[in-house]
């Protein structure tokens, strides 16, 4: 389900971000729009350093501070969703024109899977009716461990390396 956003969507979210920055008298720097684009062209979830390193690898000159404060702005204006999966770290994903979905998180390696099951929507509606509430959204995370132990160990090792790099 996680696919890079459509080109039209990217143009549209840029417009939304532009007017948000304008309204708040915030600077409309190209770097901020690059961060937004990076998120909408990517798949799934990532932490702030993932975005920073990916942009750096692609040769974009953007500081870590810019990535962090742009993410805050994007969360504030509702274009990016911030999620916390168990640990203290935050994950980001695009929020506009992105299908409602839920998450399964491996507590060993931190791998995040998305799934979509219409039955969860039915439960949401039923629970709302029972409790006399108009439920409009939900956030559901399942935690467990990968069945593929080898892939899990590799990811865990990789994550350890990344956190060493980002501390350096």
Which residues would be at the binding site for Zn ion (CB under 5 A)? Answer: 93, 106, 108-109, 111, 114, 146, 152
Minimum CB separation of residue 103 from Zn ion in Å reads 5
The least CB distance from residue 27 to Zn ion, in Å, is 30
Instruction: Output the smallest distance, CB 56 to Zn ion, in A.
Output: 24
Which residue number, 31 or 108, has a Cβ lying nearer to Zn ion?
108
Phi-psi region of 31 (alpha: psi -120 to 50; beta: other; left: phi over 0): alpha
Given a contact cutoff of 8 angstroms between Cβ atoms, the answer to whether 90 and 47 are in contact is yes
When the beta carbons of 3 and 27 are compared against Zn ion, the nearer one is 3
> 71 vs 146, which CB is nearer to Zn ion?
146
Sheet arrangement for strand 141-144? 112-115, 102-106, 141-144
Judge contact between 66 and 32, C-beta under 8 A: yes
């Amino acid at each position: 389900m996680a696919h890079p956003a459509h080109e039209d969507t990217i143009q549209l979210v840029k417009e939304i971000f532009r007017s948000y920055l304008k309204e708040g008298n915030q600077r409309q720097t190209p770097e901020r729009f690059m961060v937004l684009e990076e998120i909408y062209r990517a798949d799934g979830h990532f932490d702030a350093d993932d975005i920073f390193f990916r942009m750096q690898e692609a040769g974009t000159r953007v500081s870590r501070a810019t990535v962090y404060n742009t993410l805050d702005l994007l969360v504030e204006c509702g274009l990016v969703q911030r999620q916390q999966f168990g640990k203290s770290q935050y994950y980001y994903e695009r929020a506009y024109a992105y299908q409602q979905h839920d998450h399964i998180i491996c507590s060993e390696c931190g791998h995040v899977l998305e799934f979509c099951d219409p039955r969860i929507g039915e439960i949401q509606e039923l629970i709302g009716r029972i409790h006399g509430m108009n439920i409009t959204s939900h956030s559901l995370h399942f935690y467990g461990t990968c069945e593929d132990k080898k892939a899990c160990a590799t990811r865990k090792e990789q994550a350890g390396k990344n956190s060493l790099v980002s501390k350096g």
